[in-house]
Structure 1
Amino acid sequence: MLDFDISIWLLGILLLIMYCVYLRKKRNEEFISVFFNALFFIYILQVLRFTIFPIPIFSPTIREISSKIDILSTMNIKPFANITLNRQFYYNILLTIPFGFLLPLLRNKSIKKVLLKGIAFSISIELLQLLISFLIKFPYRTCDINDIILNTFGVFMGFVLWKLFTVILKAITKKLNLKNDKFINYILGQNNI
């Protein structure tokens, strides 16, 4: 079993440090921008932790039954087929709300760009799960169009929450006269559609 253990966390932290140094030194990003990029990076690591790991490799049971299972037959490519209001339904939405909320903080993003990136992100997860299933010759996760639909809805909800947050933040900033706060100005500066 390949799990998201300390070695993968350490690798992720090393990559995060390298990424932050790159943003500061090569792209001259402000500290606030580096902070939100780091937050987004950590979010992506968490998504990988929940959607890809653990990977059941070197399992005798899997080796025994893998020849009897057609991986493609486990895929669901019919939208809304076999969809139920269970925990998995809500988890698929909750998983990507942070994507829709955090992505506009990195760069000025319209709803269209956020949704397109969210769809691409969700498809990438499903394809990675499918690829790993083929590599280990066992459908350890199901590739499902409903996951993509629900993830995209989560991204949309995250973007709506982002817009509501910025409206509230603008009102608070005006009421408390915080126009010179660098952190708030960065956030509000990313609020153009």
Structure 2
Amino acid sequence: MKNVKKTNLYLIFFSLFYIYLCNVLNYTQFPIILDPEMKKEIGQNVWRDANFIPFNLHKEDMKTSLLNILLTIPFGFGIPFIAKVNCKRIALLGVLLGICLECLQLIIALIVGFTFKYVDINDVLFNFSGVILGYGLFQAFMILFKAWIHKLNIKLNPFLKYIYEINENERFMSR
């Protein structure tokens, strides 16, 4: 791995992204209930309650699906600020994010012996959709940002220059 000097702005964006990921893990993985009495009360079977059939949605699943999309929009929007990405990498990262979150839920449920969080393939699909939507919003933001910079002839301070250069790196990666 190359030794690359990280700028303060990079570290700020990295820190914000790290805080976001910690909150995603907190929301999707916790609480982990270890109380055996809760197992009796909840009584859900890990494998019986898991859904491995895509788009097998019920009416009550629509709220969860929307929340999965909203949860991952910041991932698609934020990752270009800290890593060089293109459409293929974003798609791969979106799938991997969804798979990792669901696998963690499954592993925790198997260790504890019951599920409090449902393992659902649809969550992976909607997490992926949120990442792609977030990346699309990032692309739209960058188009508007660059047009705004040129139209208003704004002199770039270090913060604006960092964002402007992300756009340049993005184009280079797409080729």
Matched, 1:99 2:75: yes
Q: How many residues align?
A: 166
Distance 2:103 2:55 in 1: 19
Report runs of 4+ in structure 1 exceeding 6 Å deviation: none
Matched, 1:73 2:33: no
Length-normalised TM-score, structure 2: 0.87
**Cα root mean square deviation, aligned:** 1.8
Residue 142 of structure 1 corresponds to which residue in structure 2? 118
Distance 1:113 1:83 in 2: 31
Distance 1:53 1:98 in 2: 20
Q: Cα distance, 1:111 vs. partner? A: 1.4
Matched, 1:36 2:21: no
Q: Cα distance, 1:70 vs. partner? A: 3.5
Distance 1:144 1:61 in 2: 22
Letter in 2 for 1:146: N
Q: Cα distance, 1:61 vs. partner? A: 3.0
Contact kept in structure 2, 1:80 and 1:146, CA below 8 Å: yes
Residue 58 of structure 1 corresponds to which residue in structure 2? 35
Matched, 1:86 2:69: no
For 1:123-142, list aligned pairs within 5 A: 123-142=99-118
Distance 1:167 1:121 in 2: 26
Matched, 1:157 2:110: no
* Between 108-117 and 81-90, the greater mean CA deviation after superposition: 81-90
Summarize deviations over 1:21-74 as a string: whole Å, max 9, x none: xxxxx7420011111100100000110111011111124131x368x6531121
Q: Where does structure 1 lack aligned partners over 5 or more consecutive residues?
A: 1-25
Q: Where does structure 2 lack aligned partners over 5 or more consecutive residues?
A: none
Contact kept in structure 2, 1:83 and 1:146, CA below 8 Å: no
Distance 1:61 1:149 in 2: 30
Identity of aligned residues (%): 33
Residue 4 of structure 1 corresponds to which residue in structure 2? none
Matched, 1:49 2:26: yes
Letter in 2 for 1:48: L
Contact kept in structure 2, 1:107 and 1:190, CA below 8 Å: no
Q: Cα distance, 1:188 vs. partner? A: 2.2
Q: Cα distance, 1:119 vs. partner? A: 1.0
* Between 77-86 and 105-114, the greater mean CA deviation after superposition: 77-86
Closer, same or farther in 2 for the Cα pair 1:100/1:176, shift >3 Å?
A: same
More relative contact order, 1 or 2 (CA 8 Å, 6+ apart): 2
